[in-house]
A = this chain, B = another copy of it.
Amino acid sequence: MNPTIYDVSRLSGVSTATVSRAFSDPSRVREDTRRRVLEAAELLHYSPNAIARAMARQRTDKIAFLICKKDATILDEFYAGICEGIMQETNRSDYQLVISTAADWRLASDTAQRKQIEGVILGGNAPADLVSEFQTQHIAVVLVNNRIPGHELPCILSDETDGVRQVLAHLVARGHRKIAMLAGRFSPYISSERYHAFLQIAQELNIPLHAQSIKMCDPEIESATRAALELLGQPDRPTAIFAANDVIAAGTLKAAARLGLRVPHDLAVVGYDDSAICPLLEPALTSVHSKVRSMGRLSVERMTALLAGEPVTELSTVLPPKLMVRGTT
Residues of B within 8 A of A48 (CB): 114
Residues of B within 8 A of A250 (CB): 280-281
A51 touches B54 (CB 8 A): yes
- A282 part of interface (Cβ distance < 8 Å): yes
- A97 part of interface (Cβ distance < 8 Å): yes
A86-94, A119-127, A145-153, A314-322: which one contacts chain B? A86-94
Most buried by B among A52, A75, A83, A251: A75
- A49 part of interface (Cβ distance < 8 Å): yes
Residues of B within 8 A of A110 (CB): 47
Partner of A257, one of B74, B94, B108, B282: B282
Q: Majority SS of interface residues in chain A?
A: helix
- A132 part of interface (Cβ distance < 8 Å): no
- A221 part of interface (Cβ distance < 8 Å): yes
- A116 part of interface (Cβ distance < 8 Å): yes
What separation, in Å, do the CA atoms of A318 and B91 have in the docked complex?
Answer: 32
Residues of B within 8 A of A77 (CB): 77, 80, 276
- Work out how many copies of this chain go into the complex: 2
B91 touches A280 (CB 8 A): no
- A302 part of interface (Cβ distance < 8 Å): no
- A187 part of interface (Cβ distance < 8 Å): no
B100 touches A99 (CB 8 A): no
A280 touches B282 (CB 8 A): no
A50 touches B114 (CB 8 A): yes
What separation, in Å, do the CA atoms of A116 and B94 have in the docked complex?
Answer: 13
- A104 part of interface (Cβ distance < 8 Å): yes
Most buried by B among A74, A88, A280: A280
- A98 part of interface (Cβ distance < 8 Å): yes
Partner of A83, one of B49, B75, B114: B75
B51 touches A116 (CB 8 A): yes
- A209 part of interface (Cβ distance < 8 Å): no
- A20 part of interface (Cβ distance < 8 Å): no
Interface pairs (6), CB distance under 8 Å: A47-B114, A75-B81, A87-B99, A91-B104, A96-B96, A254-B282
Known: A94-B111, A97-B99, A253-B282. 12 other contacts (CB 8 A): A45-B113, A47-B111, A51-B54, A51-B60, A52-B55, A75-B81, A80-B80, A91-B108, A96-B96, A221-B280, A250-B280, A251-B280
